[in-house]
Amino acid sequence: MKKRLHLLILSLLIVSAAFAQYTSSANSQFMSYKKEFMERFWKINPDWATNSGYHKYDSILPVPNVQQRSKELVFYKKELKKLSTFPYDKLSDLNKIDYKILENELQKYIWQLEVLKEFEWNPSYFNAGGTFSYILSENYSPIKKRLSDFYIRLKNVPAYYEAAKATIKNPSKEHLQLAIEQNEGSLSIFENDYIDSVKLMHFSKEKEATYLKRGQKAVAAIKSYIQFLKEYQTDSARSFRLGSDLYADKFRYDIQSQFTVDEIYKAAVDRKQYLHQEMFKLSAQLWPKYFNNTPMSTDSLAVIKKVIDTISVQHVKPEDFQAEIEKQLPELTAFVAKKDLIYMDPDKPLKVRKEPAYMAGVAGASMSSPGPYEKNGTAYYNVGTLEGWEPERAESYLREYNKYVLQILNIHEAIPGHYVQLVYSNKSPSIIKAVFGNGAMIEGWAVYSELMMLENGYGNNEPEMWLMYYKWNLRATCNTILDIGVHTKNMSKEDAMDLLSRQAFQQKAEAEGKWNRVQLTSVQLCSYFTGFYEIIQLRETYKKSKASAFNVKHFNEDFLGFGSSPVKYIRQILVPGY
Ligand code: ZN
Ligand code: ZN
């Protein structure tokens, strides 16, 4: 009897050892697949490779024609098939996330090529400038090598823009205009920056002339594309609105939320209502401080607006905008350390710089963080300049980014928002998560970090700070209502402006800018609120699961430890069974 039992245990041990071996071989095979996949992926996406800090294909500019697109389609379908041969259930938690992320990416590219076809209707899809500028301005290898890659890469620019012209079909007039502006913005890279760099090399006269000539041909190609766009005639321009079907697909692939478009729309509308209530309470509390005995209006939104407008006049001078941002960053770092909110690597520096020309047109301040292959690269905080702005426009912008909101912007973009998250993401051992970061998780983290700082006493719980925070959070919330409304519910410009100006208290310049942006992009504006909403819910559940052992630093570090994964997958690991 005893012996039989012993044998049984032994055979169980053998079985489980074999199982473990099978499991670990599935994982190690999957690890090598990921590595090999990335090699193949970069080869077919050299632009993306360069911008991710993988510099093997810097000299290659693919011509975006029909042949190139069918090559890509075949590639993605083949990879999807390969991926499906891995036993998902045998993979580790982290590999399961990578599997899901990869599967989603591949399905997304196939959908983009077969269904969305943005290259046909969005002419700003074609703009060679960004990567060329990156090669010239990022100091990842000696200028001689970078300039040589730049020169080889230049050769395809005329063919690139010819393919663009042949691809465009019935674009929306909004995307047409954007493409003109962005390609005009790219000209200076070839007309100025490249020429300056070539001259500094002190090449032989002949070599210099060859280099410059190729630059001139690129300039001519871009100008010809701009001319083509300016002269583009169509009787039935496509609407800039994406429509419900494409929108639902795009939301699923880009946001990767546990919620549907309808659920997120409803959550945003509820959040807006909650914020209005809280803002009214604070405004009523602040009223006597700013208006003494003046009677309050019976319209609660009008009361909030009057208080906000009064507080908003506290702002920096246009010429001090960038300096003020630079001054605040060390203060935010000190607060995070003092309150022990999250570990920050002191060896990863952050620098503020004027927004490069090729970025202009869509956003006001943004982070450029070192990519997954640039462990020692510099993180840049890009700030749009107010130089040359009409005084009225500058004043409107500065009231929007007043004394309080500018601090929240810095929390969001830099510390402990995007900058800190991206440093964690780059430390993540998974190349898949580092490269195919989930935008909703990334934006959601930045939006969550604002609330987290205020909850922990940033701004000394001043009602003005909370009121401005709520206004800022209302912006992320209304971004979602706006985006879904405009692209799937035919929201008019008039209704959009009412939402942004009257209900979200935005200055005219801000609201106009947002209206421009929602015409040119879709789904991306939902990432802020959706990610925020999912992270707050996850933190609540995490809190319950840890009970008295809960600590916000642990949550923050645990959460960021999975790299830029969709929140729904982090949730499955952090709070299994909840
Ligand atoms: Zn002013
Ligand atoms: Zn952001």
The lowest-confidence range among 106-110, 369-373, 403-407, 444-448 is 369-373
| 310-335 as b/e: b if 16+ CB within 10 A | ebbeebbebeebbebbeebbeebbeb
Question: Which ligand ends up closest to the CA of 395?
Answer: 1
Going from the Cα of 398 to the center of ligand 1, the distance in angstroms, rounded, reads 7
pLDDT tier, 7 (very low <50, low <70, confident <90, very high otherwise): very low
Going from the Cα of 130 to the center of ligand 2, the distance in angstroms, rounded, reads 20
Mean pLDDT in the chain? 91
Is the model more confident about 388 or about 467?
A: 467
pLDDT tier, 9 (very low <50, low <70, confident <90, very high otherwise): very low
Going from the Cα of 476 to the center of ligand 2, the distance in angstroms, rounded, reads 10
Question: Which ligand ends up closest to the CA of 397?
Answer: 1
Going from the Cα of 319 to the center of ligand 1, the distance in angstroms, rounded, reads 13
For residue 3, the model assigns a pLDDT of 42
pLDDT at 4 over 70: no
pLDDT at 375 over 70: no
Which residue has tokens 């208080």? Answer: 307
Q: Give the pLDDT confidence of 144-159 residue by residue, as tens digits.
A: 999 999 999 999 999 9
Going from the Cα of 119 to the center of ligand 2, the distance in angstroms, rounded, reads 26
Going from the Cα of 115 to the center of ligand 2, the distance in angstroms, rounded, reads 28
Going from the Cα of 402 to the center of ligand 1, the distance in angstroms, rounded, reads 9
Going from the Cα of 318 to the center of ligand 1, the distance in angstroms, rounded, reads 9
Tell me the longest C-alpha to C-alpha distance in the chain.
Answer: 95
Going from the Cα of 512 to the center of ligand 2, the distance in angstroms, rounded, reads 19
The mean pLDDT of 3-7, rounded to a whole number, is 43
| % of the chain beyond a pLDDT of 70 | 94
The lowest-confidence range among 109-118, 125-134, 271-280, 383-392 is 383-392
Locate the domains of the chain by residue range: 2-44+65-121, 126-240, 251-574
Which residue type, as a one-letter code, is found at position 1? M
pLDDT at 113 over 60: yes
Predicted TM-score (pTM) above 0.95: no
Contact 19, 338 (CB under 8 A): no
pLDDT at 484 over 50: yes
Which helix (DSSP H) or strand (DSSP E) does residue 353 occupy? strand 350-354
Question: Which ligand ends up closest to the CA of 401?
Answer: 1
pLDDT tier, 360 (very low <50, low <70, confident <90, very high otherwise): low
Going from the Cα of 390 to the center of ligand 1, the distance in angstroms, rounded, reads 13
pLDDT at 20 over 60: no
For residue 221, the model assigns a pLDDT of 98
Going from the Cα of 166 to the center of ligand 1, the distance in angstroms, rounded, reads 49
Q: 53 vs 35, 110, 194, 205, 433, CA distance in Å?
A: 16, 25, 20, 32, 15
Cβ neighbors of 326 (< 8 A, separation 6 or more) are 352
Going from the Cα of 39 to the center of ligand 1, the distance in angstroms, rounded, reads 53
Going from the Cα of 367 to the center of ligand 2, the distance in angstroms, rounded, reads 8
For residue 383, the model assigns a pLDDT of 82
Going from the Cα of 526 to the center of ligand 2, the distance in angstroms, rounded, reads 11
The mean pLDDT of 245-267, rounded to a whole number, is 97
Going from the Cα of 316 to the center of ligand 1, the distance in angstroms, rounded, reads 8
pLDDT tier, 14 (very low <50, low <70, confident <90, very high otherwise): very low
| % of the chain beyond a pLDDT of 90 | 76
For residue 509, the model assigns a pLDDT of 76
How far does CA 332 lie from the centroid of its chain?
A: 22
Cross-strand pairs, 351: 380
Question: Which ligand ends up closest to the CA of 444?
Answer: 2
Question: Which ligand ends up closest to the CA of 524?
Answer: 2
Distance CA 180, CA 152 (A): 25
Going from the Cα of 495 to the center of ligand 1, the distance in angstroms, rounded, reads 28
The mean pLDDT of 74-96, rounded to a whole number, is 95
Going from the Cα of 314 to the center of ligand 1, the distance in angstroms, rounded, reads 7
Distance CA 417, CA 449 (A): 6
Q: Give the pLDDT confidence of 216-249 residue by residue, as tens digits.
A: 999 999 999 999 999 998 877 899 999 999 999 9
Distance CA 96, CA 30 (A): 10
Closest to 276 in 3D by CA, of 300, 308, 299: 300
pLDDT tier, 322 (very low <50, low <70, confident <90, very high otherwise): confident
Going from the Cα of 293 to the center of ligand 1, the distance in angstroms, rounded, reads 25
Going from the Cα of 289 to the center of ligand 1, the distance in angstroms, rounded, reads 20
The mean pLDDT of 8-31, rounded to a whole number, is 62
Where are the extended beta strands (E) located within 124-208?
none
Q: Give the pLDDT confidence of 537-553 residue by residue, as tens digits.
A: 999 999 999 999 999 99
For residue 386, the model assigns a pLDDT of 80
Scanning 189-299, the segments in alpha helix (DSSP H) are 194-200, 205-230, 244-255, 261-291
